[in-house]
Amino acid sequence: MDGMQDFTKLRVWHAAHAFAVETERVCGRAARGRAALILQLRRASASIAANIAEGAGQPSPAQFARFLGIAIGSANEVTNHLLLARDTRALPHAECEELISRCNSTRRQLIALHKHLAPRPSTDPSAT
């Protein structure tokens, strides 16, 4: 995989973008009084696709992998916020469960791509 690729050609970016769009739609119906939580959820969900896009512009696979790691962290943050939104009834339970499922699917894609790109430690005993 060459650096500086078009991020819009990546399946994982499409999944992350669609997830962020759906999160925005659901958050538009959030319970009043939960503005801070909903804002954090919106930012973190948008951050997943944004980090994929930023990483795809990096000159090396290792640098791209670093941004994918950040995107994975954002996916974890989103899941945390969705659990909180569900448990405090800031968002409807069923919609939170659907978003959590979609976020988990996107995270699995990110992890697979990250593993493919991340530098592997040397297994050569003479390298130490």
Q: What is the pLDDT of residues 6-43, one digit of tens each?
A: 999 999 999 999 999 999 999 988 877 889 999 999 99
C-alpha torsion 7→111→73→89, nearest 10: 100
CATH architecture of 7-119: Up-down Bundle (1.20)
Q: What is the pLDDT of residue 5?
A: 83
Give residue for tokens 């538009």. Answer: 28
Closest C-alpha to 21, from 42, 52, 50, 51: 42
pTM (2 d.p.)? 0.88
Question: Taking the domains of the chain in order of start, what are their residue ranges?
Answer: 7-119
- pLDDT band, very low/low/confident/very high, at 63 (cuts 50, 70, 90): very high
Please state, in angstroms and rounded to a whole number, the distance separating the CA atoms of residues 101 and 122.
35
Whether 3 has a pLDDT exceeding 70, the answer reads: no
